Amino acid sequence: MKRMILVLGLTASIALPASAQAPKPAPAPTAQQKQLIGTWEGPYASEQAAPGSLRLIIARDSVWKLTLEVVADQALSVGEAREIKVEGTTVSWVQDIMEMTCKAEGTIVAGTLKGGTTCEQGGQVAITATWVLLKK
């Protein structure tokens, strides 16, 4: 009898941590956040870089996903977006571009996604850019 109780006790204690680690379903995006989902395109401007354009794709399943394509005179090495945050109609993220760490943030204003990016290299600001994107 004592062995059976001990085995049941061990089984229960082993099962608890596994169930405690089960991922919680992500909350559905709010109506405001849904406005960000889609493909956005438009120009960027910078005093430190040649003009070009951006194509930003924002998606959401269980987590927010973001893909940025930079269209410029020269090919740019663009890493994956990380630290993606969405609050209301504002999206922010960090991304490596041309060996620089870039932080970007944009907010929907009257149907347009307006924002800016600051890129650092070696702890110093190397490039800043502003952008205005329209949903396609």
Q: How many domains does the chain have?
A: 1
Token pair recorded at residue 33: 């956040």
- Residue 21 resides in a domain: no
**Distance of CA 116 to CAs 25, 59, 62, 128, Å?**
32, 20, 26, 7
- Residue 42 resides in a domain: yes
- Residue 5 resides in a domain: no
pLDDT tens digit sequence for 18-67: 545 555 666 888 999 999 999 999 999 999 888 899 999 999 988 999 99
- The least confident of 4-8, 62-66, 80-84 is 4-8
- Residue 107 resides in a domain: yes
Token pair recorded at residue 64: 């927010």
- Residue 24 resides in a domain: no
Question: What CATH code is carried by the domain that includes residue 128?
Answer: 2.40.128.20
- Residue 126 resides in a domain: yes
Query: What pLDDT does residue 13 have?
Result: 41
Domain range for 108? 31-135
Looking from the CA of 78 toward its CB, the CA atoms found within 13 Å total: 16
- Residue 13 resides in a domain: no
pTM for the full model?
0.78
